[in-house]
Amino acid sequence: MKYERKREEKELYLPKEKPILVKVPKAKYFCIKGKGNPNSEDFSNRIGVLYSLAYAVRMMPKNGFTPEGYFEYTVYPLEGLWDMTEEGKKSAIFNKEELLYTIMIKQPDFGNEEVVKKAFEIAIKKKPNPLLEEAYFDEIEDGLAVQILHIGSYDTEPESFNKMKDYINENNLIIKSLVHREIYLSDARKVEKDKLKTVLRYMVNQNENIE
């Protein structure tokens, strides 16, 4: 039976349109860093590199290599950690060119050093790209977090962020940093802006200073 994240990881990948507190475990990812406007060709190229690696793992049995513990699954959606340059933080005007990001695609638990090495070999052979040299494999743990499902244009995300901030204040929590995670459940090339589905997440701590 194919592993379905929408069923097995529903809390993380199919939340409600209201803030909830979750505990996000450590997970494995193919990652690549970048800077600038996410509407740029460079950003699209970096996404392409991640998917070439992700599908290299997904299709390994058809390429003559079956990792130990392999199971059928659907490739995970694109995710991103977003920040701003110091110049961008100081500016009163939001400038997408000052965005800093790490985009990534989660990998199944069977991913290990051998699988990662094989994925890079397959990707380089199938579609060589100099950006593959910037991609890397990492384990990341978000831990305690507040998240929400945002439906609509990326430009209206502040509405959902404000809802999360209200929830955080009301529940004696504090945001670790303004670096936040976004999980893109919709393909922006195929879905109308007002129907896009994006998981937004702030990593938080309990506020121990509350009297």
pLDDT digits (tens, 9 = 90+) for 98-135: 999 999 999 999 999 999 999 999 999 998 999 999 99
Please state, in angstroms and rounded to a whole number, the distance separating the CA atoms of residues 160 and 165: 9
Whether pLDDT at 5 is above 90: no
At 13 the pLDDT is 85
The strands making up 99-107's β-sheet, listed across from edge to edge, are 20-24, 143-151, 197-206, 173-184, 78-84, 99-107, 27-35, 136-140
> Phi, psi (5° rounding) for residue 74?
-95, 135
Quick: pLDDT tens for 149-206: 999 999 999 999 999 999 999 999 999 988 999 999 998 888 999 999 999 999 999 8
* Residue located via tokens 């699988």: 115
pLDDT given at position 140: 96
Buried b (16+ CB within 10 A) or exposed e, 65-104: eebeebeebebbbbbbbbbbeeebeeeeeeeeebbbbbbb
Residue among 84, 105, 98, 81 nearest 37 (CA): 98
The tokens describing 169, both together, are: 């204040």
**What average pLDDT is seen over the chain?**
93
- In the block, which residue shows the tokens 């990001």? 101
Task: Tell me the average pLDDT across 76-90.
Answer: 94
CA distances from 90 to 23, 108, 152 (A): 32, 39, 28
Res 209: pLDDT: 67
Domains of the chain: 15-206 (3.20.80.10)
